[in-house]
Structure 1
Amino acid sequence: MCGYSTAVNHLTDVEIDKINKPYRPLASGEFSFGTGLIIAASCLILSFGIGWIVGSPPLLWAISIYFVMATAYSIDLPLLRWKSSAVLAAVCIVGVRGIVYQLAYFLHMQTFVFKRPTMLPRSLIFSTAFLSFFTLVIALFKDIPDHEGDEKHGVKSLSVLLGQKRVFWICVSLLEMMYGVAIVVCATTSSNHWSRMITVSAHAVFASVLWYRSKSVDVKSISATRSFYMFIWKLLYAEYLIIPFMR
């Protein structure tokens, strides 16, 4: 489904990508539009097909919501093309990566694979809240390196509305605030000494590295902001290494 989401986004953004991301396969001409359609359709059929064969209600629920959100985000039809709105774009990204990824896949393993009763452990509540907020920042930041193409094609991202520099520091400040909250939560709620030490130390390190890296970014440089954007994704995935230590 992630493949379908990416393919549809590429198919509907060819003209914008010729400005923002000319290296992408459709924008560069490496793939034809027809090839892109085949890839999108194949990923969509395989996704629902595998979900249907597995027969897990939470997994099918996750796939279905992801499909609706990905389609609404990219397709240029009345009431759709949510990426044109900073608020609706954030709703899509947070809804999928912040909420669906955490709840649906956990419930798939908990109730369908292990046949255990439904429960919401502390680590799941923490990861859902933390990663929802984190993906909100990603939703805001992703438009900074795409500022030029979005502005020319009427996409009213927050970067277009407020300016790249302001949005950059809003995102950095929000992430630092999140890490501060995570440190307090881990320090005050963890009942295990080693768990508390690992989670508090890790979030302190992440916050420090983020601040150090942010000070050297040239906000007007597309390559610099895109590199920093990928760095934020690395921080997101690093969080998945810490969540299992929440006790």
Structure 2
Amino acid sequence: MENNTIIKTSLDPRSTFDKYEKRPLINAVTTESYEPKPQAHNSKIIIESIIHGFDNFRKFSRFYAFMGLVAGSFFSSLLAVDNLSQLFPTFFNGYLQYIVPHFFMHLYIVGLNQLADLEIDKINKPYLPLAYGEFSFTNGVITVASFLFLSFGSAWMIGSKPSLWSLLVTFVLMTAYSINLPFLRWKKSTTLTVMAHAIGMTTSFNIAAFMHMKTFVLKKATTYPRSLFLATVVMAIFFAVVAMAKVFWFCVSLLEIAYGAAILIGASSPFLWSKLFTT
């Protein structure tokens, strides 16, 4: 009886089928398991490294701060334009000649500030590449010095005097603001901080951008219109507020003065559309 059971089981066609049917299923699972090819794996690593590098550069460059310069200098440059025929391509080509050297100067400023505040940033802003250790201090110094050279070098090649002296003023003030040397590190003083930001920003955002477009690009005589005066005064107060943002209500008062000055100057304009729009 016991032998018959064994023979019957071994001859059972269903058992034979199961025996041979299951084996290829197991083999299929094991042989078809995906393993990335070395070439594809290397390509993925390279792409991820490039993306990671761009992300670190984004954090290092603080693009959001540069957008203020782009907007301010663009609209100040527009004040020098007398008619629409000067916009294409003269205006935009001239504006690029102004903004490119200032972009490199912006990278120098934010980079120098991170180098000078390295120990502080390790606590307050550990996500920055220098503070996090993604960039070494030596590489940071080389990078910052390179951007400074590119800034003055490109402006020198373009040949715009307003752009050059704007870069020089910004370089002196922002270096004195950040670097920790005797008689410098102006960020420790509220008065010097306000002065550095107000003068540096209004120079590059307003005055130099207008003069570059008026005298260098459009080749016209130097003038100082009311609109430029309005933009410079209001933005000087605005940047003073930015520099002293910790003193909240004092900053609110300064902003009220800035907007009040804009309303008064706009209301006194002889042009109705300017009077209504500015007010």
2:192 paired residue number: 88
CA contact (8 A) 2:166 2:203 kept: no
1:174 paired residue number: 254
Task: State how far apart, in whole Å, the 1-side matches of 2:238 and 2:199 are.
Answer: 12
Task: State how far apart, in whole Å, the 2-side matches of 1:118 and 1:181 are.
Answer: 25
TM-score for both structures, normalised by structure 2: 0.60
1:32 to partner: Cα distance: 1.7
Task: State how far apart, in whole Å, the 1-side matches of 2:152 and 2:210 are.
Answer: 19
Task: Pick the aligned partner of 1:65 from 164, 169, 188.
Answer: 169
Counterpart of 2:250, as a letter, is: I
1:132 paired residue number: 236
1:100 to partner: Cα distance: 4.1
CA contact (8 A) 1:12 1:75 kept: yes
1:115 to partner: Cα distance: 0.9
Structure 2: tracts of 5 or more residues without a match:
1-104
Q: Residue 98 in 1 paired to residue 202 in 2?
A: yes
Aligned-pair identity (%): 50
1:12 to partner: Cα distance: 0.5
1:46 to partner: Cα distance: 0.5
SS in structure 2 of the partner of residue 135 of structure 1: helix
SS in structure 2 of the partner of residue 118 of structure 1: coil
Task: State how far apart, in whole Å, the 1-side matches of 2:125 and 2:266 are.
Answer: 40
CA contact (8 A) 1:62 1:101 kept: no
TM-score for both structures, normalised by structure 1: 0.67
Task: State how far apart, in whole Å, the 2-side matches of 1:177 and 1:68 are.
Answer: 29
1:198 paired residue number: 277
Structure 1 residue ranges, 4+ long, deviating more than 6 angstroms after superposition: none
Q: Which protein shows a greater Rg?
A: 2
CA contact (8 A) 1:190 1:196 kept: yes
Q: Residue 21 in 1 paired to residue 125 in 2?
A: yes
1:210 paired residue number: none
Task: State how far apart, in whole Å, the 2-side matches of 1:181 and 1:127 are.
Answer: 10
Task: State how far apart, in whole Å, the 1-side matches of 2:217 and 2:147 are.
Answer: 24
1:184 paired residue number: 264
Cα shift readout 1:117-175 (whole Å, capped 9, x = no counterpart): 1100111111111111111111111xx3xxxxxxxxxxxxxxxxxxxxxx111111221
**C-alpha root-mean-square deviation of aligned residues, in Å?**
1.4
SS in structure 2 of the partner of residue 76 of structure 1: coil
Task: State how far apart, in whole Å, the 1-side matches of 2:116 and 2:108 are.
Answer: 12
1:54 to partner: Cα distance: 0.8
CA contact (8 A) 1:11 1:26 kept: yes
Structure 1: tracts of 5 or more residues without a match:
145-166, 201-247
Task: State how far apart, in whole Å, the 2-side matches of 1:128 and 1:177 are.
Answer: 14
Task: State how far apart, in whole Å, the 1-side matches of 2:258 and 2:211 are.
Answer: 25
Task: State how far apart, in whole Å, the 2-side matches of 1:68 and 1:97 are.
Answer: 12
**Stretch of structure 1 that moved more, 126-135 or 29-38:** 29-38
1:112 paired residue number: 216
1:87 to partner: Cα distance: 1.0
